[in-house]
Each structure stands twice: as structure tokens, then as C-alpha cells.
Amino acid sequence: MADLVMVPAENYGGERGELAFLHDGFPMMVIRECELARGEHERNRRQYAHMFHHQIQRIIRGVAVEIMCVAPAFFELSPGNRSGLVLHEYGHLLAKKNDRIVMDPEIDADLQVERITRRRIFYDRNKVQTLLEGW
């Protein structure tokens, strides 16, 4: 299985309070809290994160990475849920970079990232992404 790690982004050139999400040591995204994401989560408890809100990228280990915005509640989730959500959002980024047009972008995001990381995204009883099977 691929190694999935979240570390302080400031260790790699990001801003204080952000997290760098690494896959096998390769930077994938920067994670930061966002008021818009907080509001989305208050309206829909399944909504913890979004992509493409910020046009600015961060440089992590010499690589430009996109910013994933999260609601503060994201940090209260289990590690399996956090990793599942991050991978799902990364799937949206992969789909955008591949300029894919699909019938269901949510399913496609999961399939894109599963193809790259060989990790399957499951959904728990609350219909929130997780890397843990058996919910």
C-alpha cells in the first residue's frame, strides 16, 4: 500500500496552519481551513472539503500543489475518514488535469485516485469517504 502522510506544510515551504499531504513522499496537495468550507459543512454535514476555491498554488518540496479547503470539522474526523476525503478531493484534481468529462464526477474522483494510489475509497455509515472497509 502507498504511504499517505499529512505533515505541517511550513516544514516544506507552505504557510503556518496548513498541512502538506504526501503520497509516498511526493507532495499532492496543501490542506487549509476555509470559511466557505465551514459554511458548506453547516448546510450539509457530509460536506467537509472542496477544491478549486483558490487560484494560488503552494510550493512544497519544489512542486506546485493545489490547495484543498476544509471545514474545521475535518480535523475532528478519524484518520481513515481524513485520508479518504483527501484522496477523493485529489481525484477531482486528477480529473481536472486530465480534462475529463464524465457522467458522475464524484464516482470518477474515487476511480481516478484508486487507479493512481491503488487504494480503494469506501463510504462509512454517514456516507463520508474512508479508507476503512466494513462500514
CA proximity to 106, closest of 49, 33, 24, 26: 49
pLDDT for 106: 86
Compute the average pLDDT of residues 6-29: 77
Assess contact for 113 and 21: CB atoms under 8 A. Answer: no
CA proximity to 20, closest of 9, 10, 4: 9
Q: Which tens digits make up the pLDDT trace of 19-59?
A: 877 777 767 788 889 999 999 999 999 999 999 887 777 77
For 1-135, strand residue ranges (E) read 4-8, 19-23, 26-33, 49-50, 58-60, 63-70, 122-123, 129-130
pLDDT for 1: 43
Rounded to 10°, the helix 79-97/105-117 angle is 100
Residues 28, 83: Cα–Cα separation, whole Å? 12
Compute the average pLDDT of residues 5-19: 78
Assess contact for 32 and 70: CB atoms under 8 A. Answer: yes
Q: Which tens digits make up the pLDDT trace of 83-121?
A: 889 889 988 888 877 666 677 888 888 988 888 788 889
Residues 99, 78: Cα–Cα separation, whole Å? 32
Question: CB atoms < 10 A from the CB of 87, how many?
Answer: 28
